[in-house]
Amino acid sequence: METIYDYSVKAKNGEMESLENYKGKVLLIVNTATGCGFTPQFEGLQDLYDKYKEQGLEILDFPCNQFGNQAPGSDEEITDFCSSRYGITFPQFSKVDVNGENEEPLFTFLKSKKSGLMGSKIKWNFTKFLVDKEGNVVDRFAPTTKPEDIDKKIAALL
């Protein structure tokens, strides 16, 4: 049976990284954008990371430019923006597509485990997938769900 740990994703340095490196951790996987109405959620995501990192939370950030061209720029420019503006310290990966023929296979897998209002499509940036320590996709949250509203669910999984 296929698990999240069977996937490798492109790190922002261009090298492939196996998600097996995150085995035993609770994961919050998010497609993000730097020019979106939800961009201030980076602050809430970083707060969650600061609060739970030592207990085993990892937030995996995948910039996505598919929705209104809201993540323009290179991976390096996006990282610079996020670290200087929001103090992001959680892992950021290379820019991906989350829908369509060039979508990142990890997101195909995530959507197959937890569909949303648009079925197997992701509606917008800041869609969040919560994965337990065994690699099971346990929840999916809409872009309008604020990171702080996920706090109790993360705490329960840790």
Q: Report yes or no: 143 and 38 within 8 Å, Cβ to Cβ.
A: yes
Amino acid symbol at 29:
I
Q: Report yes or no: 9 and 109 within 8 Å, Cβ to Cβ.
A: no
Amino acid symbol at 84:
S
Annotation says 82 is catalytic: no
Name the catalytic one among 4, 29, 36, 150: 36
Report the sign of the C-alpha dihedral through residues 87, 88, 94, 97, in that order: negative
Active site residues: 36
